[in-house]
Structure 1
Amino acid sequence: MTDVEQMLAQVAESYNTMPYESHAFKWCSPAYIRAAAYLYGVDLPAVQYARVLEIGCAAGGNSLPFAFMYPDADIVAIDIAEAQIAEGQRIVKQAQLKNISLKNMSMTELPNDLEPFDYVIAHGVLSWIPKQTQTQIFRVVEQSLGSNGGAYISFNTYPGWRARESLRDLMLWHSRGIEDLQDKVDRAREVIPFLAEGVSPHNLLQAAKEYLAAQLPDCESQDYYLAHEYLELHNHPLYLVQMTALAEQANLRYVGDAQPKIECPESYQLTENKEFLTLQSSAKHAIAQQQYLDFAVGRSFRKSLLTSNRHSQEAFNKPDFSRLADLLFAGSFEAFATKKEGVKKYRVYDKNIKVKCAKIQAMLALLHQSWPRPVSGRDLLRVAEGAKQEHVRTEDALKQLFMLFPLEMSRSYEDLPACLQDLYSGLIPGAATIMAARYKEKSSIAEFNAWYSSSTAKVNKTDLFVVETLEATKSPLRAADTLEQAWRQNSYLPSSIKLRKKIAKNPEKYALRYVQRVIDRLHKYAMYI
């Protein structure tokens, strides 16, 4: 066994010992990649019949959603951790999926005679493999990618990862000499209070360390994150210019980030910062300009899109937001009134966004009304045009919407899965299978929605019974009837004593309500259409 093979075996053993939670990540959905690449002037293959290769797929949490929602696609997903692949293979077998192959192998073991792939995805791999093998991943991508295909490679990046690197060094130092991975994680957790309260004000990184301490997961269910993000044997961040140099050596071209707005100075209030603009303008190439932006914002993670040098189109130097009109968007943004006239507030993740522009408010209302189905960029422009706000150009309002809000995105109606087409009604494909696996088998594969985002919301046994019955009957009324009959036999009753008493008096009424409550919750998260 060579030194590199031995190092890869150690990485595999680490993930076999403590598997990583396997999630769908919307930025590396082929449909999203295709839409993002279009903003950079690059056309990629339609996704309905696409061939997709995922390198480092864990248990398949990112590839399985694509297999469920695009039955005519062809997916090959590989990972060096045998335990994770076995978990994903169980799902493939249970669901009788015929369009995906999960294989326990290294990227260097891929056969040379595979047909070219339309999309090659490597999320969370580049920074976590031995430094000696980082060049290989680009060679494998280039060899596997079709001439007009697209690739996605994410990685930890400098300069932002410098602060996290000092945290990693501290955790490794504090847990030195401990071999057992769980014991190592437990030991590493002891530094978190120190980071939050014990760092001297004379330490130039005090604020950064306090911030990072607040971001670290404080529950045992996320031990895997500490183990693999901070205690892994290999973690080798790269500057953007270093990553693109490796890509160019392998005959790959940089397109841009899968999240185009992060490559725009206006996302960081830098458009009027003369010092930044002076420095950035000194760069002769777009990638060098992006490197200056990374220094300015302290970027720590990138999600890069690449094509082969054989691709017929070269990317624009920056995203062309006039192309937003040609895309489809979705989002659920409930408006709340504020004390200020004409201003509405929208809750997005853990913060509130206040919007005064009537055009943006009109577009948000249409998106919310249509959720989870998409709205075309041109329809958003039309509804915005009807709003009275003459001093804001409609095209600028659409760009502001894109910059401010986390929109789901697709290139065309043809790229939408069947569950987002107009006539579809019911659970999205695969939802019941994955939810049952998480609840019954403690699977590490997270639930996903129609827009390729993960959810790890907890369900109880009654919720799961409803979900499985909805999957089997395809009818809310029949699901309610089945639930009622189960309740009459004292099965699948909710834990609430108060609710049980109500059910005893009128099981038919409350079965209907309970099923509708489950549907409403799943619809909110785009898991029931």
Structure 2
Amino acid sequence: MSINELAENYNQFPYDSLAVKQTHPWHLYRVATLYGFSPVDVAKAKVLELGCASGGNLIPMAYHLPTTNFVGIDLAKRQIEEGAQQISDLQLQNIELYSQSIMDFQSNKQFDYIICHGLYSWVSHETREQVLALCRQYLSPQGLAYISYNTYPGWQAGDTVRELLKWQTAMIPSPLERIQKAKEVLVWLENALINDYSPYASLMKNEIDLMKEHSDHQLLHEHLSPFNEAYYFLDFLEQAKQFQLGYIGDAFLSNDLYADFQEVQRSDYLLNRRFRCSLLCQQNEAKLRNRDPKIFEALKSVPNFAGEMTAKTTFVAQKPRVCPLVLYQASHQDFVTNQRHENIQLNPVAEIMLPYLDSHHDLNDLVAFIFQEIENETIVLVDKQGIEIQDRNLGYQHVVTICQETLALMAQNALFI
């Protein structure tokens, strides 16, 4: 598949553009510090994302980190245009998105954090090499590169089902028809294994369950894509080494709490690991990872982005105010990004309350707004058994409880400021 064909594929069926919590610069900063590395202060950093889609990951970062500079590139022109519109609407001055291939990327500056999530395993060999070459060329001396990829042995079951789907859809030119056919094949496979309780059948059933949770776009771009390569951990390290990149650790600490790389690889066999998020740096900056308890003590002085945001937002004020970014996102998409860089799905009550969470309305006001929607028959009030509540007084008390619970949930989800 050519670059132009690939671009058109993504323009027609754009990939879901979401926040990826473990890619947040403050998270990478703290993890790398734990491993004994000295990253650049996030507040002064330059961040590059390869394959940024419409900015669902970068834009919330840029909103909450106004002194940090962000650049994103993606092959899909349509998604870049959508992201550019969001940036304009939010009046962000510290982020730029460009529609271009990774093969064509050039810059006159270095970056302190390079993010490459959901891309490395899903592109051609030449593009994978270019990802590493860009990291080598554009990482600052104390820069961090985050690269996620599918891993063996865990991905072997995924390979089996993916090859079946590719074979069964190979002669279907229409992406929509390929998606539909793939779903039919998954149903056939599930039914064929329904009375099979062998270890292999259990493995396949688990893989089917995972794929059934995917959106159509994920199914198309991940499992029906011409590219989907998994790697053993040690093989990935060797690839990085060829481009003078050194390994620091994994973005998920639990994946990498071992004394040496051989033990890390053995753990992947033991746990049947299928996905990794590796942190790389310039090879001359890579050192033997430090397991000294003093490192954990030193972390106490590192800025705690998530902790600070949680402390600020879990209290429900008398007249609560939702984060403006959340208000904007809710009017344009099905999910919002909280201040912990997590994707949150709002419930119907929260969606109705959202425009009034502006620090000018208290609980009584919010209850009145919700009750008015019920009076207008815009929404129907039901009890926990799903039975409509007809009694007005009982209904009013029920609305009060619902509003209180919704506000508490929104606070727990770090949606207030």
Distance 1:417 1:218, change over 3 A: closer
**Of 146, 157, 163, the match for 2:140:** 146
Partner deviation per Cα, 1:196-243 (whole Å, 9 max, x = no partner): 342496987333112211222257xx1112112210121122222222
Matched, 1:176 2:60: no
1:361-440 paired onto structure 2 within 5 Å: 411-413=302-304, 415=305, 419-420=309-310, 426-439=321-334
User: Partner of 1:526 in structure 2?
Assistant: 414
Amino acid in structure 2 at the alignment position of 1:464 = E
User: Partner of 1:370 in structure 2?
Assistant: none
Distance 1:503 1:145, change over 3 A: farther
Q: Give the TM-score, by structure 1 length.
A: 0.69
Distance 1:133 1:482 in 2: 52
Matched, 1:109 2:104: yes
- Measured after TM superposition, the shift of residue 436 of structure 1 is 1.6
- Measured after TM superposition, the shift of residue 176 of structure 1 is 2.3
Distance 1:297 1:35 in 2: 25
Distance 1:512 1:94 in 2: 34
User: Partner of 1:324 in structure 2?
Assistant: 296
CA contact (8 A) 2:310 2:414 kept: no
Matched, 1:78 2:73: yes
Matched, 1:466 2:353: yes
Matched, 1:286 2:255: no
Distance 1:324 1:303 in 2: 21
Distance 2:329 2:224 in 1: 29
Give identity over the alignment, percent: 26
Distance 1:492 1:70 in 2: 42
Matched, 1:496 2:385: no
User: Partner of 2:241 in structure 1?
Assistant: 248
What SS does the corresponding residue of 1:527 show, helix, strand or coil? Answer: coil
**Of 111, 127, 134, the match for 1:133:** 127
Distance 2:292 2:392 in 1: 57
Partner deviation per Cα, 1:453-472 (whole Å, 9 max, x = no partner): 222x2443x532421221xx
User: Partner of 1:298 in structure 2?
Assistant: 272
Distance 2:201 2:372 in 1: 60
Amino acid in structure 2 at the alignment position of 1:33 = L
RMSD between aligned residues: 3.2
What SS does the corresponding residue of 1:152 show, helix, strand or coil? Answer: strand
Distance 1:503 1:254 in 2: 64
Distance 1:206 1:487, change over 3 A: closer
User: Partner of 1:356 in structure 2?
Assistant: none
1:214-229 paired onto structure 2 within 5 Å: 214-217=209-212, 222-229=215-222
CA contact (8 A) 2:246 2:284 kept: no
Q: Give the TM-score, by structure 2 length.
A: 0.86
Q: Which moved more, 1:210-219 or 1:196-205?
A: 196-205
Amino acid in structure 2 at the alignment position of 1:454 = N
Amino acid in structure 1 at the alignment position of 2:200 = L
Amino acid in structure 2 at the alignment position of 1:463 = A
Distance 1:249 1:464, change over 3 A: same
Amino acid in structure 2 at the alignment position of 1:68 = Y
Distance 1:218 1:161, change over 3 A: closer
What SS does the corresponding residue of 1:437 show, helix, strand or coil? Answer: coil
CA contact (8 A) 1:256 1:304 kept: yes
What SS does the corresponding residue of 1:190 show, helix, strand or coil? Answer: helix
Partner deviation per Cα, 1:320-346 (whole Å, 9 max, x = no partner): 565334446xxxxxxxxxxxxxxxxxx
Unaligned ranges ≥5, structure 1? 1-5, 266-284, 329-375, 377-410, 440-445
- Measured after TM superposition, the shift of residue 488 of structure 1 is 5.1
Distance 1:503 1:305 in 2: 58
**Of 41, 49, 54, the match for 1:54:** 49
Unaligned ranges ≥5, structure 2? none
**Of 368, 376, 386, the match for 1:484:** 368
CA contact (8 A) 2:142 2:281 kept: yes
